[in-house]
A and B are shown apart, each in its own frame.
Chain A
Amino acid sequence: MSIWNYANPTLFMSLSKRILPTTTVITLVLIITGTCWGFFLTPNDYQQGSSVKIIFLHVPAALIAINSWFVMLISSLIWLIRRHHISALVAKAAAPIGLTMTLVAIITGMIWGQQMWGTYWAWDPRLTSFLILLLFYIGYQTLWRAVENPDVAADLTSILCLVGTIFAILSRYAVNFWSQGLHQGASLSLDKEEHIHDSFSNPLYICMIGFVFLFITLLLVRTRTEVLKRQIDSIERRKGYFNA
């Protein structure tokens, strides 16, 4: 029984139904533990006060924002090569999650930036890259909604995701180049490695793993919704044939 069998929508639905409660519980446990530990039980940084604790949200969100696109990339490749409808729907389902995480990363980054530099926005390479990633997510989702035929939509969005990945990487490099050019030497990056206390690392890891499980849970829920939507569409269309 290879993993490809789960590309069958019915099998997928039954498997996801079985594992969803488990992942939900793990998610809740990890996130609550991680954030409470991080927010309440760690010492305040002598320089930045308690606001640095926003990294317990910022870093995991940023991690998921990028991984979500990666999941979309793999799913798009699987759709283009093996034509499993489930993978197309996984890609479609991952997009809003990634978009939200990117937004969370940007907003928490801005809040953190306000504390560190006194301004909500600065053209820091990392924040700018996330802004560009947001644009890619918006474009991808808009294309899904614009095409009527779901299979053609899956094709076009998969190609967009592939090409977009290349440009996203190019843009990251370009933005680094750009910010070095304009701010030669000034390091305005939210470089977490240098500034956090060691005691932050454990709750941070817990939060990160918790967010990964959050992503998995949300992805399963959204994919199930997409599958149900497609099933309803198919039934409606079939009813149309019988009535005609």
Chain B
Amino acid sequence: MISILKRDILLSIRSGSGFTLSLSFFFLIIILIPLAIGPENTKLQSITPGILWISALLSCLLSLDRMFQSDFEDGTLEAFLLAPVPLEGIVFAKAIAHWLTTGLAITLVAPIIGFLYGFDQSTSLWMFLALLVGTPSLSFIGAFGASITIGLKRGSLLLPVLIMPFFIPTLIFGSQTVWQASTGLQMINSFLFTAGVSAFVISLMPFAAALAINSALK
């Protein structure tokens, strides 16, 4: 399983410019939204948690459709069926690899952005923690979406349509955590819910994705 992790990260660096693509996309959205809604600082402060979360979400969508596509095309996916590694483990490793190149990078960068937007230290810390526990669920849901859309024409357009509704619980609990932290409310419940949703997603999605892959290969 570690081999898959290493190989996928290597592949994304060689052919997909690694985490710089998702980071660039992340920055782009963060810049575009305030440009669209006006520069009043106070207005920005209260919606910044939401902007950061949406940007993180959209950036995670980027490299998802390639997750299984190239393995499907060159027959590696069929070889995985026969290999001694369980299919669920393969999905797990791929999702982690995806998270390392998208969610993790964003998690490290976002608090700094929040700081620049005027977050205090406590809010930035909670931004970091919320993203840290929340973004893995985005990658794993993404892995599930990728497994359903293997080999479909226009699969890359269909994937976001299918899985964005699944992002809603993580989005709500994650952004609530940061918003509550910024207004001094008790944020621990939201945080625990975010973590809970992630834990649940991480344990369930590999099995669902493995089922989908088995069907897609027939």
Contact = CB atoms under 8 A, between A and B. Distances in A.
Report the 5 A-B pairs with minimum CB-CB distance, sorted nearest first: A155-B215, A174-B169, A135-B165, A174-B172, A170-B169
30 contacts: A132-B165, A135-B165, A139-B161, A139-B162, A142-B158, A142-B162, A147-B152, A151-B218, A152-B215, A155-B211, A155-B215, A156-B148, A156-B212, A156-B215, A156-B216, A159-B208, A159-B215, A163-B166, A166-B204, A167-B165, A167-B166, A170-B197, A171-B168, A174-B168, A174-B169, A177-B172, A177-B173, A178-B176, A181-B176, A181-B179
A156 B152 CA distance: 12
Contacts of B154: 146
B144 to A, nearest CB: 7
B193 interface: yes
Contacts of B166: 163-164, 167
Q: Give the one of B169, B176, B212, B216 with max A CB within 10 A.
A: B169
B180 interface: yes
Contact size class for A?
20 to 34
B186 to A, nearest CB: 11
B153 interface: yes
B171 to A, nearest CB: 8
Contact size class for B?
20 to 34
A11 interface: no
A78 interface: no
Nearest to B167: A167
Contacts of A167: 165-166, 168-169
A139 B149 CA distance: 12
Nearest to B154: A146
B110 to A, nearest CB: 21
Q: Give the one of A159, A164, A173 with max B CB within 10 A.
A: A159
B204 A142 contact: no
Given A146-B153, A160-B148, 6 more contacts: A132-B168, A149-B218, A156-B216, A164-B165, A174-B172, A177-B176
B168 A136 contact: no
A143 B149 CA distance: 8
Interface of B: 144, 148-149, 152-155, 158, 161-162, 164-166, 168-169, 172-173, 176, 179-180, 190, 193, 197, 204-205, 208, 211-212, 215-216, 218
Given A146-B152, A178-B176, A181-B176, A159 B211 contact: yes
Contacts of A116: none
A227 interface: no
B193 A177 contact: yes
B169 A138 contact: no
Contacts of A143: 148, 158, 162
Contact of B165 (A136, A151, A155, A159): A136
A57 B126 CA distance: 45
B64 to A, nearest CB: 15
Nearest to B155: A146
A147 B158 CA distance: 11
Contacts of A136: 165
A63 interface: no
A143 B164 CA distance: 14
Contacts of A152: 215-216, 218
B108 to A, nearest CB: 26
A171 B153 CA distance: 29
B185 to A, nearest CB: 8
Interface in A169-188: 170-171, 173-175, 177-178, 181
Contacts of B153: 146
A162 interface: yes
Interface in A126-144: 132, 135-136, 138-139, 142-143
Contacts of A159: 148, 208, 211-212, 215
Interface in A88-144: 132, 135-136, 138-139, 142-143
A156 B212 CA distance: 6
A196 B208 CA distance: 44
A175 B148 contact: no
